[in-house]
Structure 1
Amino acid sequence: MGLKFEDVDILDFLGKIVELNTHHYKDDFDLDRDLILGLAGTGEPEDRRLLWMSRPCGTYTLREREVYLEGSYANNVWRFYHEQTRDTVLAYALSVKDAQDGKVAGNIYPLDYGAHVEQMKRLTCPVGKLAVTFGDGTNIIIPCQEKGRLINELTPLHGQPKSITDLPENERELAMILKRERFKRSYHATPGDLKKYMDGLKKSTLRGKLKEAQAAASTRKPPSHKRETER
């Protein structure tokens, strides 16, 4: 049974995780912060359902929907650090509710990263189409197998592609998978104590252990260098 933290300051929470678990390329989180703030303001429900990970060397923010599309960039990233590395990964599902004055409020679900990847692999949907946004703002959906030819034909008319988004072969199937997985995650999660959770991470992560040791050392009294008065 997992935990959930409801109506919390998402960016503040993730920033604390970065301090505990991400030792290098911490500026990745600056990009995450901007991305999460931007997605929170789009009004698209799927832009508010995200997966986030902290690694010793960086962080990632991914749309949950895209993680479940087989072979997509998000799918490959989410799988890679489980299948190809032994990195300590702290992973979370984010449900964004509101963004105001640089703060993002919502719910956070800590994930068992390895178990989540294995479950996701059993449920992924094939990519069938691509949504392409061209330089002049034109949006066109094209079949995957026609990607190269159609983009080459359309680029002289509409400019270079600005973004390419993977779309499922079966939209209804993907929607049902996401609905079911999110319901299970929320239903089986119990409200967590944020302070207790963070204290537990401090005791288990390398950086947390180091900070505890430094704090303990700073409170110790230095040994006295005074010699006893000679008689």
Structure 2
Amino acid sequence: MGKEISLIAFLDEVVSRNTQHYRKDFELDAQKLRDALNSPYMDERIFYFMSRPNGTWCVLERDVFLRDSDGYKIWTHYADMPDGIEAYRVTITGRRGTAPMGHVVKLNYREQVQRVIKVAIPFDDVELTFYSGEKFRMPMEQYRKQREEIFFEYGAIQNFRCCPKSEAELYRVISMEHRLQKCWQPKTKKGPDTPAR
């Protein structure tokens, strides 16, 4: 997989080279990576990052593959305008002081986003963790309708996690994407062997 690198330093170089406007977006992305160091979930330490000529985005990989989540909407929004996008899968494996360390895989955004659109799965529930310590799961539709009441009753949300019916199916979809990112090709069925002459 290659040696561990300082992720924020690496991505900052990408932004310096590729993003001409709204470079300050990257400050939010860098903080998101620092915050992920405290996540108890490994899948909340894997992100997709894009540098565009006009800004950056950093979204959780799991959300990218959950249709209609914010991460999915952000990642697929540029599918019809991929020119100038540099994209990476960013995996946090540890820290050096407060700096997230890990690995990056360069993505061909033009091809990869089409795979995302094709294989993303729906999600129904959200898991909410509050700064108060409360934690519960509820249907997304219920959350949308009761967002204000929930805030007034439980306070600010510390972590918002989209949950599909099957975590195993989400894991399968993401695992297949990782194989494709390594240039794996699915086997194609061969026709019947023709006899040699």
Aligned to 1:18: 15
Matched with 2:84 is: 88
Question: 161, 171, 179: which one pairs with 1:175?
Answer: 171
**Higher-RCO chain (CA-CA 8 Å, sequence separation at least 6):** 1
1:160 CA drift (Å): 5.5
For the structure 1 residues 114 and 172, does the alpha-carbon distance in structure 2 shift closer, same or farther, using more than 3 Å as the test?
Answer: same
Shift of 1:24: 0.9
Can you list the C-alpha shifts for 1:50-96, whole angstroms capped at 9, x where unaligned?
Answer: 1100011111111100000001111011011223x355100001122
SS of the aligned residue for 1:65 comes to helix
Query: Do 2:79 and 2:114's aligned partners in 1 also have CA atoms closer than 8 Å?
Result: no
Note closer, same or farther for the CA distance 1:33–1:147 as it changes in structure 2 (3 Å cut): closer
1:33-54 superposed Cα distances (whole Å, 9 cap, x missing partner): 1211221332421122111000
Identify, as 1 or 2, the structure richer in helix.
Answer: 1
CA distance in 1: counterparts of 2:158 and 2:42, whole angstroms: 22
Distance (whole Å) between structure 1 residues aligned to residue 117 and residue 165 of structure 2? 16
- How far apart, in 1, do the equivalents of 2:6 and 2:155 lie? 40
Is the aligned partner of 1:137 residue 2:133?
yes
Distance 1:43 1:186, change over 3 A: farther
Q: What SS does structure 2 have at the residue aligned with 1:70? A: coil
Question: Kindly tell me: are residues 154 and 54 of structure 1, through their superposed partners in 2, closer, same or farther at Cα, counting changes over 3 Å?
Answer: closer
Q: How many residues align?
A: 184
Q: What SS class does the counterpart of residue 4 from structure 2 fall into?
A: strand
Which range moves more in the overlay, 106-115 or 141-150?
141-150
Partner Cα distance (2:5, 2:133) in 1: 36
How well do the aligned residues superpose, as a CA RMSD in angstroms?
2.3
1:63 aligns with 2:69: no
Instruction: State whether residues 82 and 109 of structure 2, in contact with CA within 8 Å, keep that contact through their aligned partners in structure 1.
Output: no
Task: Give the Cα separation in 1 of the matches to 2:182 and 2:5.
Answer: 15
Q: Could you say if the C-alpha distance between residues 114 and 187 of structure 1 is closer, same or farther in structure 2, counting changes exceeding 3 Å?
A: closer
Residue in 2 that maps onto 1:34? 31
CA distance in 1 between counterparts of 2:9 and 2:170 reads 31
**CA-to-aligned-CA distance 1:2-50 (integer Å, 9 cap, x gap):** xx75422222211111111101111111221121122133242112211
Are 2:107 and 2:181, in contact at CA under 8 Å, matched by a contact in 1?
no
Contact 2:18 2:53 in 1 (8 A): yes
Gaps of 5+ in 2: 185-197
In the aligned structure 1, how far is the partner of 2:100 from the partner of 2:67? Answer: 29
What amino acid is aligned across from residue 52 of structure 1 in structure 2? Answer: F
Q: Which blocks of at least 5 consecutive residues in structure 1 are unaligned?
A: 189-231
1:118 aligns with 2:114: yes
The Cα of 1:131 is off from its aligned counterpart by: 1.4
Q: 1:141 to 1:5 in 2, by over 3 A?
A: same
2-side partners of 1:37 and 1:103: how far apart?
A: 7
